[in-house]
Amino acid sequence: MSIEERLVQTPVIPLVQASDPAVAVRTAQALLDGGLGVIEVVMRTPEALDCLAAIAAEVPDAVVGAGTVLSAEQAGAALAAGSAFLVSPGLDRDVVAVSKEAGIPIYPGVATPTEVQAAWNLGLRTLKFFPASLVGGAPMLKALGSVFRGVKFIPTGGVSTSNLADFLALDAVLACGGSWLTPADAIAAGRYQDITALAAQAVAIARATTD
C-alpha cells in the first residue's frame, strides 16, 4: 500500500520533534496505537536523523518520513536514515530533484497560486499547504482546488481538533498534518497515553468527516 493510499484511509500526519531516539520511538508507537501510521519527524533538532532512523527500525508498522527538509543535503541524509517520504516548508527544485532521483514522494510547502503552478510544472500533484491557518485556511484551499483540479493538498500549520473536519471536508485535501497530536508537555512527562488518545480522537474526526 502506498503512502497516499494509507492517507486516504487515515488522513492525518502527526509531527514528531525529538532529541532522544528512545522518546521518538515511544511517541511513534503511541501514535500508531491510536491509529496513525504515517509519521513525520521534523528536522529541527541535531538528533532528528537518529530519531527518524530509530523509528524506522523499531516501529516497522509505521511509515516514517522527514519534515522541515530545507536542502538537497538534508534530503539525502534523511533518505539515508530511512525516510520513506520528504516534506519541506517551501518549494525547492534541488530538494525535489533528490526525491525524484530516489523515487521517494516529496510534499513541498506552497502558499500561493504561483507556487502551486510552479510545483505542478515540476510534475508534483500532492503538496503541503503551509502555514495553513495564516494563508487563508479552508477558504483558500477551496479556491486553489477549484483551479488546480489534479492537485491534492496537505494543510499543516494551525490545524487542530477544532478545524480538522473543516479541512478534511474539502475534496482538494488528501490529509492534514500537525503537531497538536504530540504536545511537548505530555511527552516530557511520559504521558504517552495522552498521545494515543489524541491520535484516536483525530482518527474518529477523520472517519466521521470522510465516511
Enter the C-alpha cell of residue 58: 523499531
> In whole angstroms, what is the distance from residue 176 CA to residue 107 CA?
12
Helices (runs of H) and strands (runs of E) counted in the chain: 10, 8
| 195 and 186 Cβ atoms separated by less than 8 Å | yes
Look at residues 198, 115, 118 and name the one whose alpha carbon lies nearest to residue 159: 198
142 is catalytic: no
Q: Is 38 exposed, middle or buried (0-12, 13-18, 19+ CB in 10 A)?
A: buried
Helix (H, G, I), strand (E, B) or coil at 107: strand
- Please give the helix or strand (H or E) that residue 128 lies within, else none: strand 126-129
Tell me, yes or no, if 128 is annotated catalytic.
Answer: yes
Cell numbers linked to 43: 528536522
- Write down the catalytic residue from 101, 115, 128, 142: 128
**Is there a contact between 99 and 83 (Cβ–Cβ < 8 Å)?**
no
User: Which residue out of 5, 40, 47, 73 is catalytically annotated?
Assistant: 40
Grid coordinates 524506522 are at which residue?
56
What are all long-range contacts of 99-103, with beta carbons under 8 Å and residues at least 24 apart?
A: 99/75
The size of the chain, in residues, is 211
Which residues are known to be catalytic?
40, 128
